[in-house]
Amino acid sequence: MAGDRPNVLIIGGGFAGVFAARRLKRANVSVTLLDRGTSHVFQPLLYQCATGLLSEGDIASPLRHLLRRCRNLRVFLGEASGIDVTAKTVTARRFDGSTFDIDYDYLILAAGARQSYHGNEQFEQFAPGMKTVDDALAIRRKIISSFEIAETLPTPALRKPWLTFVISGGGPTGVEIAGQIRELAIRALSKEFDSMDPAEAQVILVHGGERVLESFHPRLSGKAQKTLDKLGVTTVLGRHVTDVQRDHVITTDKKTKATEQIDTHTVLWTAGVEAVPFAGAVAEATGVTPARGGTIPVGPDLRVAGHENIFVVGDVMSLDKLPGVAEVAMQSGHHAAVLISRVVGGKAKADSPFKYRDLGTAAYISRYHALLESGPLRLSGFLGWLGWGGIHIFFLAGSRNRVWTLASWASTIIGGSRGERAITYGDPETARRPYP
């Protein structure tokens, strides 16, 4: 890469970072993409990895391979830990704990979000979230091992805590994982156990709102609820999970404050997200006050106030109450890259405001049942399922991932089983911590 080109540093290899890097492919800049992992992960399908429908390889693409045609780009493995906006350098930790500095002329912060426990970080030990491949594999281990342990227990009473799965949060991820666990129990595992019936599994979805999937139209939300009821998912509305222990959770009614204990060994957390810790370092260095969840407020052109060369995009930005979804990440990453290309190219309109085009939202409930909402178009059931599948295949990174994902879906529909049920015995908490 030419040494006299402006240096663009992109922090984060998610949707926003990848779309920014691709847009800068032909710009007269040198691009560095820094990520704490080696792969771009398609987070919307993590729950299918967690429930044995897809492998982690189906939803993860190596960043070096994915961006191999970007000749002006280099990829660094590291975790951003500090920033000096005066010197225009970012400090990053290597995998072994040592550090290195990266110079930049333009910075695109696309580091994404992590699971939020709303100040109850102790819950994380027993209630993994759903943001990384490590989370998905840890959840798969909890789910599969619960069925295996239940097989060795002689009575339904002893099996019940192991076959009770509690999900905190009734948004798309919570609804999707609840439906998939129940499908796993009544379909994929139905004829594979001898001492117990996997259909004994009870899936309890705890949500503080008045209905599940509140971001969807009430009619679609109601249809999702009917599908969950038909599957056998127990939905508890108007309550929050307020304590998580190794063998039980406590839920509290929002209005009456009455509490209830649910005995369970498997709790999954999907109730909210927050910005990654590095966002706090950027906020402090730039002198801005973080918004909700530690996100960074930006102007209409996605720049940080007072810092024309720093852009914040995707889940880590705060602008006009935009949702933390893949579409916002892709479009904002692309927009920031366009503005940098214009500045470097000496073109006008280098401060054009970001205009989000809402292409719709989708959520998978169960086989042949999904929701798709785009403007006035509202689909559910089989048509929603077809639309949901088409959207996810289209946005999966790499033809290999598309082919293998389609093959896995087809195999499950035809044969009923799920082949990706291998479990690991590593320490999932290590992946959630900063590099050493």
- Return the active site residues: 176
Distances (CA, A) of 102 to 1, 8, 84, 185, 427: 15, 10, 10, 49, 31
CA separation for the pair 397, 236 (Å, rounded)? 36
Nearest to 248 by CA among 123, 154, 136, 151: 123
- Would you list the DSSP string of 290-329? P-GGG-EE--TTSEETTEEEEEE-GGGEESTT---SHHHH
Structure tokens at 184: 């796993």
According to DSSP, residue 427 is labeled -
Angle at which helices 326-344 and 15-23 pack, to 10 degrees? Answer: 30
Angle at which helices 172-183 and 218-231 pack, to 10 degrees? Answer: 20
Nearest to 175 by CA among 376, 14, 380, 316: 380
CA separation for the pair 28, 376 (Å, rounded)? 41
Structure tokens at 228: 């969950």
**Half-sphere exposure of 323 toward its Cβ, with a 13 Å CA cutoff?**
13
Q: Which helix (H) or strand (E) holds 243?
A: strand 239-244
The count of residues in the chain is 436
Sole residue written with tokens 């975790």: 79
